[in-house]
Amino acid sequence: MSLIYDGKVAGVAGSVAKLPIRSIAKPIAPQSAKDLLVGALAVATGHQQASDMLQNAALSLVGSTLEIQTELSAAMLRLLFNAQAMQLMQSALKERGGGNITIKLLPAIADKVESEAAKVATPSPALLRLAESAARLNKVSDQLTTQIEQIDAALKRLNLGVATWVTISEIEDEDGNWSREQLGYVRIGSRWGVALRSSSGMRGDPGEPDETFSAFADAPRQLRIRAVEHIPKLLDQLSGEAEAMIAKLSPKVDEISELTLAFQSFNLQAASAPIAKTAPAVKK
């Protein structure tokens, strides 16, 4: 298969991904160059779009050379150089006793074909930048998750057993609809860990608000990113909660200590007291 213009042979878009070959009830046996091209493209692409696009194109088939004498749209050029369509066209031509097919374009059309082929073969700069940004974002996100896992492990070693939440964001509209995002340290199933919670509802609604809750690593990436700057606040609040619990428990410990001493003293006194003897009963 070749593409020629100005007597020179140019590359053919044979590298275009092939579509699944659809079954053909009977061999394509067109009576004209346009029928040949339209029939092949219709089978290759699975629709009649090619027929509409080519209805005004000037085509002629001289021997095994298909001449395209009018400029086609970029979409039509991509359809025209579909690898499977080429194969179908060549098979149909062989049915008519022809040899290898050559598609001949006017120079301006050939330049456009090469331009379209280059667009397909080479990713756009915007796509390349996006791919690079996505790779960097995934790397930073993975690093963030690793850091949180290390904080989780450190808190687990401290065996705090203290739950707390800090607010990441909280908004309410004029109709009373509110939403809140929170970062916390709570029990997750059978273990303690850093978690994220999103809740929403309507002010004054007595029902339970809608709520989603998950471990930090399982939360949506955007929520994790928004939560990062609140990690120091969470650790400070955990420290404050622990101190508050210490202040609350210390007097109770003293009270229990006094009660324990009192019971111990009572038990010692009871153990050292003489046992009173009872007089034997007098038989009558």
Q: What confidence tier does 198 reach under pLDDT thresholds 50, 70, 90?
A: very high
| Mean pLDDT to the nearest integer, 164-170 | 95
pLDDT of residue 7: 36
Is the pTM for the entire model greater than 0.85? no
- Dump pLDDT digits (tens) for 122-166: 566 777 788 788 888 888 888 888 899 999 999 989 888 889 999
Residue in 54, 117, 66 with CA at minimum distance from that of residue 90:
66
pLDDT of the residue at 181: 96
Question: Where along the chain do its domains lie?
Answer: 2-121, 138-237
pLDDT value for 9: 34
- Look at residue 262 in the predicted model and tell me its pLDDT: 72
Q: Please report where in the chains the tokens 């379209």 appear, as a residue.
A: 116
Mean residue pLDDT of the chain comes to 69
In the predicted structure, residue 12 carries a pLDDT above the cut 50: no
> How does pLDDT run across 238-276, given as a tens digit for each residue?
999 989 888 888 888 777 877 777 777 766 666 665 655
Which one has a higher pLDDT value, 123 or 24? 123
- The stretch 214-231 carries a mean pLDDT of 92
Q: Which of 17-21, 108-112, 141-145 has the lowest mean pLDDT?
A: 17-21
